[in-house]
């Protein structure tokens, strides 16, 4: 019986170590002990904010470099305002907790870090108001090994989703709101079930927003183009990184404007970017080849530069990389 239980647990966790250390309710505990009540407000209503942060293992220096950690926690703090979350930790405190978490787990591979700030009240009713302290804010931070979220080498075959991106005046996509990722789940799942690697989602006006859970760039006639933050997209940290790297490293300015669906069919290159996706070239959209159907030269250059930067190999960008010593 014990053996069967352990085997089921292993399958259910998909390689996540339940004995790894997490930060939960103000202290460091094993992941298996970091549990919430099923009546928790965030579980019932999706009322929480999360972040995705990557730590990259540098094999030469034998240390983890956490990429743009401070910027991620600044965004987290800003997004808390959307759901009236009362996070009592400063950005510096959140960074320190994360560094300590890495030091306790001592990963020697690329690592994904997931902070969650959520409505922790054990109450019924969707109100975000913390009346008489009955709907307080909870905080958790966990980490796990993570390699490539999608195949970043061969080029992705994607489709334009039939699902519309949620609107800023409905559930603001600029915030990584837990409940809004049902929209992502629907778009991603339908793409996978119809044989695609992922999807591109349009807004209610029929213009391109981004991928299912990542920002999007296209290239037309040598011009790098991405959608504006007012097009119902996440205000991506990797997105701003790519814009800066393209300018500083390659001398290429980025045009920020709305993108029509059919531009996806006639562009020369396209790629996703994000903490999970990193820099992921797209070679087909709706069964139409992007450019010559191969990974584009600009996409590949930016991908190579990006991976040197995040692993702490380009000294001029070390300001973005928080090195953790064990």
Options 63, 119, 176, 188, the catalytic residue: 176
Q: Can you give the three-state secondary structure of the chain, one letter per residue? A: CHHHHHHHHHHHHCCCCCCCEEEECCEEEEHHHCCCCCCEHHHHHCCEEECCEEEEEECCCCEEEEECHHHHHHHHHHHHHHHCCCCCCCHHHHHHHHHHHHHHHCCCCCEEEEEEEEECCECCCCCCCCHHHCCCEEEEEEEEECCCCCCCCCCEEEEEEEEECCCCCCCCCCCCEHHHHHHHHHHHHHHHHCCCCEEEEECCCCEEEEECCCEEEEEECCEEEECCCCCCCCCCHHHHHHHHHHHHHHCCCEEECCCECCHHHHCCEEEEEECCCEEEEEEEECCEECCCCCCCHHHHHHHHHHHHHHCCCCHHHHHHEEEECC
Residue 176 is among the residues annotated as catalytic for this protein: yes
Return the active site residues: 176
């Amino acid at each position: 019986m014990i053996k069967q239980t352990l085997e089921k647990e292993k399958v259910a966790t998909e390689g996540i170590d339940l004995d790894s250390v997490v930060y939960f309710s103000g202290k460091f505990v094993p992941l298996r002990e970091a549990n919430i009540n099923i009546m928790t407000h965030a579980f019932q209503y999706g009322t929480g904010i999360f972040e995705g942060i990557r730590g990259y293992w540098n094999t030469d220096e034998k240390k983890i470099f956490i990429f743009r950690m401070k910027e991620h926690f600044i965004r987290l703090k800003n997004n808390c305002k959307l759901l009236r979350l009362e996070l009592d930790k400063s950005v510096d405190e959140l960074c320190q907790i994360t560094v300590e978490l890495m030091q306790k787990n001592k990963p020697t591979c690329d690592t994904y870090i997931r902070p969650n700030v959520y409505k922790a009240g054990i109450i019924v009713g969707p109100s975000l108001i913390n009346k008489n302290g009955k709907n307080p804010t909870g905080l958790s931070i966990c980490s796990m090994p993570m390699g490539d979220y999608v195949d970043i080498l061969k080029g992705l075959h994607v489709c334009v989703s039939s699902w519309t991106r949620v609107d800023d005046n409905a559930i603001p996509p600029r915030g990584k709101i837990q409940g809004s990722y049902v929209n992502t789940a629907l778009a991603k799942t339908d793409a996978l079930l119809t044989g695609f690697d992922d999807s591109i989602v349009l807004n209610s006006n029929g213009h391109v927003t981004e991928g299912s859970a990542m920002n999007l760039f296209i290239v037309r006639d040598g011009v790098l183009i991405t959608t504006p933050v007012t097009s119902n997209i996440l205000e991506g940290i990797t997105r701003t990184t790519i814009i800066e790297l393209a300018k500083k490293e390659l001398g290429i300015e980025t045009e920020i404007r709305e993108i029509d669906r059919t531009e996806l069919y006639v562009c020369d290159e396209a790629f996703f970017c994000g903490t999970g996706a990193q820099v992921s070239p797209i070679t087909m959209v709706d069964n139409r080849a992007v450019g010559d159907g191969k990974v584009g030269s600009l996409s590949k250059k930016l991908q190579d530069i990006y991976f040197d930067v995040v692993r702490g190999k380009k000294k001029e960008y070390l300001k973005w990389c928080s090195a953790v010593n064990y």
